[in-house]
Structure 1
Amino acid sequence: MGFYETIMEKEKYPTQFYISSKGNVDGLFLEYHANILFIKTILKEGIWQSDVYFDSAGKTTDSLHIKNKDIETYNNTLKKWEPKSLLVYANYRFDEKGKIYEETYGRHKDDLKKYFYYEDGALKADETCFYYRKEYDSLGVLTQQIDYNWETKEIQTLGYENGKLAIKKVEFDENQIWNPDGTITKSKKTHKPNHISKSYIIETEYYPNGKIYRYKKNGESKEYREDGTEAIYTPMIKADPEMDNETEPTADEDLENKVYQSGAIEIKPSYPNGIDALYKFFHDNFITPEVEGLQGTVYLSFIVEKDGSLSDIKILRDIGYSTGQESVRVLRKSEKWVPGEQKGKKVRCLYTLPIKLPLQSK
């Protein structure tokens, strides 16, 4: 019984601890690295209670201990999530200023509940594993939400821009196993060569007014105008005013005038030196509105002509404050593009460009 100090064989640094009357390590258990306190462990009659880690300056970097906390858990009998008081480990991580930036709770080395914080202490993300995750901007506005639907076995991701739903993605993976304990794991089964997959991904993008802009399922896509009508791009054939009767265009005429979807041709149109060069041009020339917390994505569509010039520039979606008009202005100032090609010939091609604000220098 009493206070002891020993030298750990591997690290060769002193370790201090206390032995209780029952022969158990009790109270503080101190470990040093290079004569600097590295970890402080609290035990009660040999049973671990908590750990506190320190950096070289003596500041707390991590704190790990046991506590009771109400956490949403999956009730397999009722087929729903409900709060339950659990004895869990609580782990707090601190930044250089001593503020908590991550807070997690778990059991058996698995995290169950997580919180993440900005430097000012505002909530950045809130997650219950395999149930939901919510992310917020620095002003507390919801930017993304992930929900796990345990009835349909689908994972739904909702993306918001300026408080409005901008994109929804629904995923179903036939290889995922949704376990009775509320965890999701991967199946180890192998499929036969002729197996037809039941997995799918459905993505829906929205205009600011809530109407659908684009719908994609497993790679197949449809686009819609703001009035809800489907945007179908048909060949554009030049009419000959001197001809009295309409005639069917030849194959060469069709290739000469048709507007192609960028994903349907052999060589897609591109910006000189790559798309990163275009985004850098936007970063250097775009005048950002002085609106605190402004973020989101502006979508433009345009035709890349056979000579690389741009025509029919349209704002498919913006985030207000004239961001669409400013995007068009900057795009018109940019260099000519490298046109797309089909069957060895340059062709006109429809292109959609997303511009994410605030702009980042590439």
Structure 2
Amino acid sequence: MKKYLLFFTIILFATISNCHAQYVYYFDDQLAITKASKAVVIGKGGKEDDGLFRLDYFLKKGGSLLMSAHYTDSSLSKMQGEFSKFYADGSIQEQGTYLNDEQSGLWEKWDSAGRKSDSSIFQTGKAVTKSVFNYYKNGQMSYYSYEDSLTDILKRMSYNEKGELKTEVYFKGQNGILKSYDSGRVMIDSLFTREEKEAQFSGGEILWRRYLEQTLNASTPVNNGARNGIYQVIVRFIVAKDGSISNVTSETKHGYGMEQEVIRIIQNGPAWEPAIQYGRKVNAYRRQPVTFVVQ
């Protein structure tokens, strides 16, 4: 979260029941201090009994609570103590603690459905252990990963939509074991590297941009009557071990021929560099964005 040591507006309220002053801050959409007339977020808070300064951030329009943070004082220069972030419906999104302006101890995140997506332990601002959880649409866990940098251990497990274990990986250093489960059978294989790389266009980002410039018909949305604006098309496809492309589909539906144009250049383009998992080439899905600008 950005912090700015600029001027701020303070409104003091005195009550018989609480002798602490209440402060009001005005922020823009980047959480920079601004004038009240330009505010998007309003911060309200004050000093608590433990000596820390608590500030709650509210969306100006609607008044929903965005997050709650603690600082050493009202200048907001150093974060210290509990921190919470919320979704628009009030459910918790992220929670943890700061120590001397650095993340410390247990930090957790939840998705919009209330399922835990991340659990990490921090020391002096760096995550020393990290757990990641992914889920299918039906709520079943699809993937779990645990990494401990102190002991150099990595664990990963994947599941099918019924909750049945599909693969299990355990690494200690660069040496690991892969177990695959299929219809009651267990296949065990040795692994000798954690190297992983996402599938990419042959030659990397520079050649991908050049390919777009030479091949993509950027006038497609204009020719089909699209209104002014910025349109990001996202296509999904499979890059096989040999780099060949298949199953090209669109995740967006902007229309005006944009999705079809991106699918065309992916299908008719050169082979890609396959994904690498544990030092081996594997089949992998790839999501590729392409942006059209109409003006």
TM-score, L = length of structure 1: 0.41
For the pair shown, the structure with the greater C-alpha radius of gyration is 1
